[in-house]
Structure 1
């Protein structure tokens, strides 16, 4: 399906905030340029759309509105969409990651590819979610570079001195390719049903740009082609995963310069934080300005949910890195290992992040949500006030790796890890499971009832796990 022939997209709800005035939302709709966009109203009050961008021949429209206390729906183009507002006592949140595959993702049979999205939509229909958190790799853009002479060999083959006209043509090609993927992936039935009714918050990871962005050897990212690729990916990410244009950066993200796209949101009794682990990533660096978001957080009794696109608490992956160069097959995984907090290159950054999270724990419970590894698992880091929990749910559409891979990681997890000696990290099985890693597609449901929180993994073959108190 090409973007020029594709239907539009939306509405997609984006969470902007929640306070005494109500639930602040932005609904994004994508239509071919020149096509009409319908009306959106809340209890008879019509909301005017604003065109925030033209992207690859399509107009991106946004409706900004508030659902006041007692209002639980909006109407778009004649269809009514119920929305569950966050409650001070009871709250349900869904978490997903890894929504696709590196090769041939758009050619997969829809029923197979989107099976877990359909389950998540059914779960919402039974008991509504107030928020959908997306932890990275919402699309797999690895193939967008194909079909253009400047980028067809990316990242191994790069032109020496591309002309300005050729780079402009490449940018147009990449924007069309990104849009094609967003239209197809976000247009699947389960996601479409969820996104129109459940406000979403997303953080990106490498596949939203290209496989290994920030961890690739050499200097492909600094080349002219690399910068055109990043610019197109970033524009698509802002528009379609946040409903934001450049002018909205200071309102939506923590860093008003836009150099880091991490964000923070507040709900009753809950702070949500997602540092951006991609925009500033390099072979020797995870973040720069992005650290300010973590350092500024001062919890005062409330719970903190941190979204870390790659697992913050993990096994001794640095042991595997030692063998790169000695075992030829491991070369293919060099950028994947460099992506991790546990990489030898990022050891000091990892310690810095762990110290910040432990500081948060002094002020209230902390739970880390992660994806990226295409497996389900959990971990704990010891702290005086009680453990820091990490819950990994990955991926909702990416098919799982071989079970032997999961067993190998499980063995690595038995060795333990303690970058901060007084705060050991343990990799633990999911409730009801014997092994530390589960090789099944999955998503995660977090639920608060009163003051009590629990987590349930929904596994493709094994079904829901018993609840885990957190």
Structure 2
């Protein structure tokens, strides 16, 4: 079982890159009895830690620092950690998603669980990454609700008569459970090797809260138990995936009120956009008013645009599957899984709106959507010429792949075609070097800029790396 009680960090988080200077944060967690951690040295600066929170008998600390173009890294408690901050020319970005499983995740054999993390770390050692994008389900928190009488039967039951004091006690129970889950994942040696030297940017998905959050019945998510679950998940998401608290929200996210936790970053010839598809989600919408307002204000810089969508933006005609499942009583419990997708018939009008917004951003430069969530690897294209959009799906860095028959079935469905915007048809395509549209293997994605041109390489557990897919232009 992974270490759930020991020290964590340093883990790096990307803040900004302006005029050759990279602003970073490093997160460290220590048992309360260990006291304050040591200083961090970056260039000529010596940085003292600021305590962000106490949770699960730990104190969580943050160091805010900068690295200039001549700085090779930072030193923490006597150990030097190299950081690749050159993002002006050739650069490499790693993309991962779905780091876990719904049941017994941290009881798995850790070498098996983290095998693809070890491969990603080897990639970094061979040619360092400048960023690591994490596309959702960084933890699988579905078991966090177990063991407490108010949440033990979640989501089947949410007791309506709990007192405010009982709900607050539940929230504290849940926040400790989330913290232990993050510790169990982030202290794994394969992950820790990367996180100490590669700054990350993250967006959350449902398992960072609970399976199907936002697509469950409203009387569950709006209940006192559901809101305590969301509040605990949100606090720990900010803390462990952004090294942040509520006070940091205006500096880090597009919506200064934090109703939506979408963000966007600009680097030389690169814009990275990550809308929040969970905070305002309900059974009838994916993005709320705050999220849409923030998204419409984005003006990409010249160059490549990467849009991180925690669920695939381009996909097959799932409305046919929804109709079939609703007609078969024993299949109706899968409705929430399908409603989670942009392609659900419940979200079709909003999906069109999102695709139009993507085409607006596409006018500023080549746009590639990057997604996880489905535990498969695939790619898609929409439109042509000046409206052409790539989508890359890399999902399941530690979640074991579904049966290959499932992948073949999705591939057949994708062959029916889809065009929510009739003038911009969507095509689901095989990965380079593959014959099928969906690949049922654990995987991660590497994005590379070479001589100004971007390309993508999937690393598949059984098949190995794919030939490069050109993205620019």
Q: Common fold, TM-score beyond 0.5?
A: yes
C-alpha separation between the residues in 1 aligned to 2:7 and 2:169? 24
Task: Encode CA deviations 1:218-253: one digit per residue, 9 max, x unaligned.
Answer: 510100000100000000000000000010000011
Report the equivalent of 2:284. 284
Give 1:20 deviation, angstroms: 1.1
1:415 paired with 2:401, answer no
Give 1:72 deviation, angstroms: 1.4
Give 1:362 deviation, angstroms: 1.6
| TM-score using structure 1 length | 0.98
1:100 paired with 2:83, answer no
C-alpha separation between the residues in 1 aligned to 2:338 and 2:86? 37
Check the 8 A contact 1:56/1:172 in 2, yes or no. no
Report the equivalent of 1:349. 350
C-alpha separation between the residues in 1 aligned to 2:175 and 2:301? 43
Give 1:2 deviation, angstroms: 9.7
1:458 paired with 2:473, answer no
1:446 paired with 2:447, answer yes
Check the 8 A contact 1:358/1:383 in 2, yes or no. no
Report the equivalent of 2:400. 399
Report the equivalent of 1:199. 199
Instruction: Evaluate the alpha carbon distance shift between residue 228 and residue 462 of structure 1 in structure 2; reply closer, same or farther with a 3 A threshold.
Output: same
Give 1:300 deviation, angstroms: 5.0
SS at match of 1:355: helix
Task: Choose 337-346 or 322-331, whichever is displaced more.
Answer: 322-331
Give 1:301 deviation, angstroms: 3.1
C-alpha separation between the residues in 1 aligned to 2:165 and 2:296? 43
1:187 paired with 2:187, answer yes
SS at match of 1:81: strand
Report the equivalent of 1:434. 435
Give 1:44 deviation, angstroms: 4.8
Task: Encode CA deviations 1:352-386: one digit per residue, 9 max, x unaligned.
Answer: 00001111112210000000000000000014415
Give 1:41 deviation, angstroms: 0.5
C-alpha separation between the residues in 2 aligned to 1:299 and 1:325? 41
C-alpha separation between the residues in 2 aligned to 1:270 and 1:445? 16
Check the 8 A contact 2:2/2:187 in 1, yes or no. no
Instruction: Evaluate the alpha carbon distance shift between residue 86 and residue 43 of structure 1 in structure 2; reply closer, same or farther with a 3 A threshold.
Output: closer
Give 1:106 deviation, angstroms: 1.0
Report the equivalent of 2:32. 33
C-alpha separation between the residues in 1 aligned to 2:38 and 2:396? 34
Check the 8 A contact 1:23/1:67 in 2, yes or no. yes
Report the equivalent of 2:243. 243
In the TM superposition, 1:47-196 aligns within 5 A as 47-196=47-196
Show structure 1 runs of 5+ residues with no match: none
C-alpha separation between the residues in 1 aligned to 2:342 and 2:145? 28
In the TM superposition, 1:211-250 aligns within 5 A as 211-250=211-250
Report the equivalent of 1:366. 367
Check the 8 A contact 2:270/2:301 in 1, yes or no. no
Task: Choose 428-437 or 81-90, whichever is displaced more.
Answer: 81-90
Instruction: Evaluate the alpha carbon distance shift between residue 386 and residue 167 of structure 1 in structure 2; reply closer, same or farther with a 3 A threshold.
Output: closer
CA RMSD after TM alignment? 1.3
Instruction: Evaluate the alpha carbon distance shift between residue 300 and residue 121 of structure 1 in structure 2; reply closer, same or farther with a 3 A threshold.
Output: closer
Report the equivalent of 2:267. 267
C-alpha separation between the residues in 2 aligned to 1:369 and 1:329? 33
Give 1:328 deviation, angstroms: 2.9
C-alpha separation between the residues in 2 aligned to 1:120 and 1:43? 28
Check the 8 A contact 1:2/1:180 in 2, yes or no. no
Task: Choose 328-337 or 437-446, whichever is displaced more.
Answer: 328-337
Report the equivalent of 1:338. 339
Give 1:415 deviation, angstroms: 0.7
SS at match of 1:353: helix
SS at match of 1:332: helix
C-alpha separation between the residues in 2 aligned to 1:94 and 1:118? 13
SS at match of 1:214: coil
Check the 8 A contact 2:326/2:335 in 1, yes or no. no
Task: Encode CA deviations 1:428-466: one digit per residue, 9 max, x unaligned.
Answer: 000000000000000000000122110000000000000
Check the 8 A contact 2:43/2:67 in 1, yes or no. no
C-alpha separation between the residues in 1 aligned to 2:301 and 2:203? 25
Check the 8 A contact 2:266/2:300 in 1, yes or no. no
Check the 8 A contact 1:86/1:267 in 2, yes or no. no
Report the equivalent of 1:16. 15
C-alpha separation between the residues in 2 aligned to 1:358 and 1:2? 43
Task: Encode CA deviations 1:234-280: one digit per residue, 9 max, x unaligned.
Answer: 00000000000010000011100000000010110000000000000
C-alpha separation between the residues in 2 aligned to 1:405 and 1:444? 21
Report the equivalent of 1:305. 306
